[in-house]
Structure 1
Amino acid sequence: MSAPVRDADLRTGRAITEAEWRKLRRESLASLPPGLDATDPSILLGYQRRLLETTATNQVTVLPKSRRTGVTWAAGADGVLTSAAARTAGGMDTLYIGYNLDMAREFIDVCGMWAKAFSQAAGEVGEFLFDDVNEADPSDTRRIQAFRIAFASGFEIVALSSRPRSLRGKQGYVIVDEAAFHDDLQGLLKAAFALLIWGGKVLIISSHNGENNPFNRLCQDVYAGRFPYAIFQVDFDDALRDGLYHRVCLRTGEAWTPEGEAAWRAKIIAIYGDGADEELFCIPSEGMGFWLLPAVIEACMRRDIPVLRWEMPPSFAFRPEAEREAMARTWCESVIGPHLARLDPRYPSFFGQDFGRVADLSVIWPVQIVAALYRETPFTVELRNIPFAQQKQILFWIVDRLPRFCGGALDAGGNGAAQAEYAAQRYGEHVIAQVKFSIEWYRENMPKLKDTLESRGMALPAHPDVLGDFRLIKMIDGIARVPKTRTTEKGEGAAEGKTKQRHGDAAIAGALAHYASLMPVSEYGYTPASAAAPTGSLFADLDRDGGGRALW
């Protein structure tokens, strides 16, 4: 008689509960051969060894994966073994193409570690400029920062930070990392596959980035047998079964137990929330893809940037006006004031605001452009269920105290139109941008924000809800924007057991702040013509704007 089918056997990914995973892992220990210790690590985990076995026998390997499972780490070992070998043993150059410069640098560091571990003779890591030549127009040549390790075999590992057209003139083993996030994956693969004619290899690694992404279409073509490539998938549970959590325990100094692994698995799935299927279990999201690699967002985050929140019950809107104003003023002075006081008076300030009143929250995002054009975020403010009048009061309280204030951008759609108009009346219509979001606005401005974040040119608060808001932005019909999907807050509200909805609010406020910082605003000093202007005169009213700026 066949064994009974358990409920857990019918489910995969995050559908398996913490209790079911704990039971499965205990049962897996019971089936180990005598004398085998499941906690005894080898240099590579099972799925990492299978990667090297697959690339050794296939010219093209496609690997859809979960995030943070060490696949690129294993690819570094593969690159070292390939480039350190003599030509007669299959040695060749390794060309790594990552999503950004940090990935290139990290890969070279990993390869340096593997070279020492394998006792391979290698030179020091070198940094150089790689000429990316346009064959159709040689004058169109870009110089790409790259890293290199040379081996005694005569071969080298070169790590690049973006798509090089010059692959067509090279030969060797090409590793394309996070392929789903490259701007022109199809063009890149065309160049890489040219290396196969003379015995090269190609490894294509990525987490998914939407159902319609070229990487997912490539995976489906390989699964369907339309291309003679090797493919194998490594999701989060595959990695756990092969010992990923054992490695985590070795690093943290904790003892491995099935209960500890089950709790850790549940925690990681909860952190990724709505994105767990795509990020951890290789299930591409339907119809759209991530705009930014989550690692890029996380690299811009800093723990010293607070998210300042104020939420009131619905009855607060109907309290006496004087009481509401006093409470808002007290909150500003006690909560926001200390952080405003730390702003550097030498640098210009800007802000962005995404407005919400009922279903969504309002987010105010100030920035200062400091040295090297870095956009410093001192704090962000999140207002939930705060009346219109107090939102205006809080915004003006903040902006009046921003040093060298030069411009702001506000969401002027729906309920935000009034707030945007009030701000333009107070600070000047050429200083305040009243933004009505459109496809054209997203098309023109989101790529600029993306470039800034990829170069780590703007600071973001290290907060799970901010991360979730930026991850919510998708590529829809080729344009980065916020879909209709809403997410559930994971911050303080979640800890209290309260369900609060978000709709990319912090990301939109950050995009507006970035947009404001690019506005062509001329800063200048202003001194009233007469300090003794009669009270109540037209010119006295115009002169006093609370921010030291002429209003005409």
Structure 2
Amino acid sequence: MASTNNTVLYDYQKRWLQDTSRFKVAMFARQTGKTFTTTLEIVLDCLEAEARGEKVRWVILSRGERQAKEAMNEGVKVHLNAMGIACEIMEVPFKEDTTINALEVIFPNGSKITALPANPDTARGFSANVFLDEFAFHQDSREIWKALFPVISAGWKLRVVSTPNGKGNKFYELMTDLDNTEWSRHQVDIYQAVADGLPRNIEQLRKGLNDEDAWAQEFELKWLDEASSWLSYDLIDGVEHPQAGKPENYTGNPCFVGMDIAVRGDLTVIWVLELVGDVYWTREIITLKRTKLRHQLDELNRVMRQYNVVACNLDQTGMGEKMVEDAQYQHGEQRVQGVLFNVVTKLNMATLGKNAFEDKQIRIPQGDSDLRADLHKLKKITGSTGQPRFVAESDSAGHADRTWACFLALLAAKDAVLLPVKAHSRRPRTSQKLTQGY
């Protein structure tokens, strides 16, 4: 029966179709035919079983009802019609006590293809070969996985395809756990697909999309963490050090301070950097939650006394205006500067901060999960006008407050290179001399 298949496939689709591994997983760029190709494999498998007088069962688990219908109507039905086989898709209840409906195609000898939305209940409802379509976007992917694997344990096959959607799901583990050699892995970005014959104008697509983050994720197959998070976990990992974040390790060198001031439930964060050679070592990170402004100022005063602070930048936006005024009165306008947060200043600070992480010019505490999450929380998005903005989800651990405090401290260090400074009661010195001897 397979010889009746005249579907034209590109080379990357042929490689996926011809791979007969029991477990295989693929990460394909958007609109490159991953569902189309996998449903063709399913149809051919059913027809081959029918030709042998046998029957086979396949279940397609999609991210939602619409996607399940697309897999049947634009995949299974199209393939059967192309082979001259009449196809009727039936809608049947998944279970009597649920509102979930399944779509089914039943072959003359009893082979069956079923498509329905994925959740832990639907995953455990069958004993069959399984196709997980766009698995990275399934809600509760780990729970679905735990429910699913016993279903296919008796020799059934498993097909998993998706575009990437961050590192927090089971699909990411399947694609990146290379020590697990039971899985056959395929990866096709837009460049490979076009090289294999897919007729697409890459530059036209990229310009038309006008969103570099979406392009990176959906066409270049970069994990969402790398595509939209301003500081990837790889960058964060690269600057962690067990001796950072310990005030007792302070060696008396010039320091630079950034202070992000809380608005209601967010954190006030004071970040202290010590310049050692050409590296900025984090000496202390102070987090204050729901703390009165006068107590926040007391903590800043303590930092200014304890360290040789050459320059300090405070968030001057909103309620920070009074804090800047008071801090400048006590420590001088040369040492304390206010920074108004807006699109331009945030972009400048974020760029400066990312460069420091990329160039490994900063050291941060190792293994601090709240700090890691905070640094990774900041995302760059592009608005309808093309103007980049930085956003961060707010939760009990903050609103990227630590990140902005860090960037403010780095900005203070950068600006100090250009301006004469006065530290404590020492005689005036210019910041050009700060790195002498390192």
After TM superposition, the score normalised by the length of structure 2 is 0.52
Amino acid at match of 1:430: Q
**Which residue number corresponds to residue 98 of structure 2?**
none
2:250 to 343, 360, 376: 343
Counterpart contact for 1:360–1:502, Cα < 8 Å? yes
- Please show how residues 146-545 of structure 1 align to structure 2 within 5 Å: 213-214=211-212, 216-217=214-215, 278-279=224-225, 289-306=228-245, 339-345=246-252, 347-356=253-262, 358-371=264-277, 373-403=278-308, 405-461=309-365, 462-477=367-382, 481-483=389-391, 485-488=392-395, 500=396, 502-519=398-415, 520-523=418-421
Is the Cα contact below 8 Å between 2:335 and 2:421 reproduced in 1? no
Aligned counterpart, 1:535? none
How far apart in 2 are the matches of 1:446 and 1:482?
Answer: 8
CA RMSD of aligned residues (A): 4.4
- Residues 25 and 453 of structure 1, relative CA distance in 2, 3 Å threshold: same
Equivalent residue, structure 2, for 1:117: none
Q: Shift of residue 20 of structure 1?
A: 4.9
- For residues 294 and 441 of structure 1, the distance between their equivalents in structure 2, rounded to whole angstroms, comes to 24
Contact kept, 8 Å, 1:357 with 1:387, in 2: the verdict is no
Shift of 1:362: 0.3
* One-letter amino acid of the structure 2 residue matched with residue 301 of structure 1: E
Higher strand share: 2
Figure out how many residues of one structure are paired with residues of the other and give that number.
277
User: 1:65 Cα deviation (Å)?
Assistant: 6.7
CA shift at 1:410, angstroms? 0.3
Name the SS of the counterpart of 2:300 in structure 1: helix
Separation of aligned partners in 2, 1:432 and 1:301? 28
Paired AA for residue 548 in structure 1: S
CA shift for structure 1 position 550? 7.1
Q: Is the Cα–Cα contact under 8 Å of residues 469 and 503 in structure 1 kept in the other structure?
A: yes
Distance 2:390 2:222 in 1: 29
Contact 2:313 2:337 (C-alpha < 8 Å) held by counterparts: yes
CA deviation after TM superposition for structure 1 residue 290, in Å: 2.5
Q: 1:436 is aligned with what amino acid?
A: L
Distance 1:21-1:27 versus aligned 2 partners, 3 A rule = same
Please say if residues 442 and 479 of structure 1, whose CA atoms lie closer than 8 Å, have aligned partners that are also in contact. Answer: no
- Do the aligned partners of 2:312 and 2:409 also contact (CA within 8 Å) in 1? yes
Contact 1:443-1:479 at 8 Å conserved across structures:
no
CA distance in 2, matches of 1:234, 1:522: 44
Provide Cα deviations, 1:421-468, integer angstroms capped at 9, x if missing partner. Answer: 111112211221111112221233322221111111112234222222
Alignment CA distance shift 1:388-1:14 (3 Å): farther
Q: CA deviation at 1:218?
A: 7.8
Work out whether residues 365 and 509 of structure 1, in 8 Å CA contact, stay in contact via their aligned partners in 2.
yes
- AA aligned to 1:299 is G
TM-fit CA distance, 1:354 = 0.1
Secondary structure of the equivalent of 2:151?
helix
Query: Residue 359 of structure 1 aligns to a residue in which SS?
Result: coil
Query: Deviation digits for residues 397-432 of structure 1, max 9, x if unmatched?
Result: 1111103x2100000111111111111112211221
Q: How does 1:27-46 map to 2 (within 5 A)?
A: 27-29=151-153, 31-32=154-155
Q: Name the amino acid aligned to 1:298.
A: D
Change (3 A) 1:550 1:432: farther
- SS of residue matched to 1:298: helix
Residues 213, 419 of structure 1: CA spacing in aligned structure 2 closer, same or farther, 3 A cutoff? same
Residues of 1 paired with 2:358 and 2:387: CA distance? Answer: 17
Q: Deviations over 1:83-105 (max 9, x none)?
A: xxxxxxxxxxxxxxxxxxxxxxx
Distance 1:215 1:384 in 2: 33
Q: Which amino acid aligns with 1:344?
A: T
**Aligned-pair CA distance for 1:291:** 2.1
C-alpha distance in 1 between matches for 2:404 and 2:244: 18
Distance in 2 (CA, whole Å) between partners of 1:362 and 1:384 is 6
Distance, in Å, in 1 between the alignment partners of 2:347 and 2:426 is: 33
Give a deviation string over 1:162-209, Cα, whole Å, max 9, x none: xxxxxxxxxxxxx99xx9xxxxxx9xx7xx999x69x9xxxx9xxxxx
Identity %: 18
Give, in angstroms, the shift of residue 367 of structure 1.
Answer: 0.1
Q: Where does the alignment leave 5 or more consecutive residues of structure 2 unmatched?
A: 1-91, 96-101, 103-117, 124-131, 182-186, 203-208, 429-438
Conserved 8 A contact 2:225-2:232: no
With over 3 angstroms needed to count, the CA separation of the structure-2 counterparts of 1:213 and 1:300, relative to structure 1, is farther
Contact 1:406 1:521 (C-alpha < 8 Å) held by counterparts: no
State the SS of the aligned residue for 1:487.
Answer: coil
Supply the distance in 2 between the matched residues of 1:348 and 1:28 (Cα, whole angstroms). 62
Distance 2:353 2:388 in 1: 11
